Amino acid sequence: MSSEYVPGLEGIIAARTEISMVDGANGRLVYRGYVIADLAEEMSFEEVAHLLWYGRLPTRAELDALTLELAGSRTLTEAAFSTLKAMPSDTDPMDVLRSVVAVQGVEHRLQKPTIPLAIHATASFPTILAGFHRLQQGLEPVKPRADLGHAANYLYQLNGKESPPELVRALNTYLVLLADHGMNASTFTARVIASTDSDLASCLVGAIGALKGPAHGGAPSAVMDQLEQIGTAANAEKWMRAARQRKERFMGFGHRIYRTYDPRAKILKAMCQRLNPKFYELASKVEETALAILHEEHPERPQATNVEFYSAGVLQAIGLPKEFFPPTFAVARAAGWTAHVLEQVANNRLIRPQSEYVGPEPRKPIPLAERG
Ligand SMILES: CC(C)(COP(=O)(O)OP(=O)(O)OC[C@H]1O[C@@H](n2cnc3c(N)ncnc32)[C@H](O)[C@@H]1OP(=O)(O)O)[C@@H](O)C(=O)NCCC(=O)NCCS
């Protein structure tokens, strides 16, 4: 048994999984044996969710059944809807999602995680987010449409009208690309909670909390903030060198596992160029500059563009406000989180690592009167 402390658990294998593989050295992401590039443009989110949950791509009949089940699960409980309505309109949508998922989960709190519960939870995320987006604008939430797929329905509930097929396709590809990613921080969080025999909603609430941080899923809104501050391609190098002087990180760059180009970023970059040329013009200059500066600082430690950088441009083109970028990541990752929870409970052992105590040696407490 290894007893060496590794900061950030870097390189530690914390689970055995059949769900996805992140091959950082070769820039490969694989879902249950399928390379992400082969799934991204061809498959619907529903097909990929089926793959993650059941371990195989669905037949036509299985896909129809799953689509129907997702469509029938998009409603919120009365308590969840009341919570949604009670949220102040300036609440961070990630906080809204975390809170409403918690309330929605009360209904199933005593049940062991199952595929129907995973479907139910995954189906509810777009309804929560789109409902909040409407309420923020003083509009009534829009009821889900059973005849629309996951991506198309999310956009329909957000905007109250159907979106052009090109944008639906783009959102679908984004959801497929982000659906799972090995033992990332939020998935690990979900598995830790699942390992205590807790309920699915608790796993998801924990995962949403982990995803929210800018080192993980909070990055795409931060990418937008940085690009807004940089403003023009001509200002990129000056701004970015000053940012590094202040020890700030470039958002959308670097990764714990990938030492080469993130395969998802490659696909999103091409989509961004097509869908959002204005964003792309500035972003590609910023990317070039960021990679040059990061290489200059540490040529021995390759850093590359990560999934979040061009996600920002794609999600903007789809019409999402930047506060909705991180929770839309959660809409995708709900499939992966729930698949991992199911895998954990199917072969569970409580996740309980150790810590290395580096505090003072055991000593006697000094009575209060003598402590001054
Ligand atoms: C993702 C991230 C948290 C990975 O962190 P990590 O595993 O600690 O990264 P590494 O071990 O490869 O490298 C750490 C070093 O590289 C530097 N580095 C890593 N990413 C950097 C970035 N985006 N900008 C500037 N420097 C960066 C750090 O400053 C650090 O150097 P230091 O120890 O001298 O301070 C980090 O790259 C980051 O904060 N990126 C920006 C946020 C982001 O895009 N997150 C989304 C991830 S999908």
Q: How do residues 53-63 score in pLDDT, each as one tens digit?
A: 999 999 999 99
Look at residue 1 in the predicted model and tell me its pLDDT: 56
Residue 195 confidence (pLDDT) above 90: yes
φ/ψ of residue 305, rounded to 5: -70, 135
Please identify, by atom number, the ligand 1 atom nearest to the C-alpha of residue 247. Answer: 29
Cα–Cα distance, 211 to 340 (Å, whole number)? 15
H or E segment and range at residue 21: strand 20-23
Residues with Cβ within 6 A of ligand 1? 214-215, 219, 249-256, 294, 303, 306-308
- Phi then psi for residue 216, to 5 deg, are -125, -110
In which band, very low, low, confident or very high, does the pLDDT at 69 lie, cut at 50, 70 and 90? very high
Decide if pLDDT at 43 tops 70. yes
Q: Choose which residue among 177, 303, 306, 307 to substitute to test ligand 1 binding: the one with the highest number of ligand atoms within 8 A of its C-beta.
A: 303
Residue 90: is its pLDDT beyond 80? yes
Task: Pick the residue whose CA is nearest to atom 12 on ligand 1.
Answer: 256
pLDDT in tens, 217-233: 888 888 999 999 999 99
Nearest CA residue ID for atom 44, ligand 1: 252
Answer yes or no: are the C-beta atoms of 315 and 178 closer than 8 Å: no
- C-alpha 44/C-alpha 59 separation (Å) is 13
Over pLDDT 90: what percentage of the chain? 88
Coil, helix or strand at residue 196: coil
Q: What is the pLDDT of residue 220?
A: 82
Atom 46 of ligand 1: nearest residue by CA position: 216
| 329: Cα separation from own chain's centroid | 4
Q: Which residue has the tokens 């470039």?
A: 250
Mutate to test the pocket of ligand 1, among 180, 186, 255, 286 (most ligand atoms within 8 A of CB): 255
Atom of ligand 1 minimally distant from the CA of 217: 46
Residue of the CA atom closest to atom 9 of ligand 1: 256
Q: What is the pTM of this model?
A: 0.93
User: What is the DSSP pairing of strand 28-31 with strand 20-23?
Assistant: antiparallel
- Count of positions (residues) in the chain: 372
Query: How close is the Cα of 255 to the center of ligand 1, in Å?
Result: 6
Centroid of ligand 1 to alpha carbon of 314 (angstroms): 23
Whole-number Å distance, alpha carbon 294 to ligand 1 midpoint, is 10
Catalytic machinery residues: 255, 308
Burial label for 337, CB within 10 Å (0-12, 13-18, 19+), is buried
Which pLDDT tens digit goes with each residue over 126-160? Answer: 999 999 999 999 999 999 999 999 999 999 999 99
Which atom of ligand 1 lies closest to the CA of 293?
A: 25
What DSSP designation does 139 have?
-
Which two tokens mark 196?
A: 């205590």
Centre of ligand 1 from the C-alpha of residue 14, in Å? 21
Among 177, 183, 249, 286, say which to mutate for ligand 1: greatest number of ligand atoms within 8 Å of CB. Answer: 249
User: Rounded to the nearest whole angstrom, what is the distance from the C-alpha of residue 242 to the centroid of ligand 1?
Assistant: 17
DSSP track, 254-301: --SS-SS--HHHHHHHHHHHHH-HHHHHHHHHHHHHHHHHHHHH-TTS
Q: 265 to each of 144, 295, 299, 329, how far by Cα in Å?
A: 31, 19, 21, 14
In what helix (H) or strand (E) does residue 34 lie, and over which residues does it extend? Answer: strand 34-35
Kindly report the average pLDDT of the chain as a whole number.
95
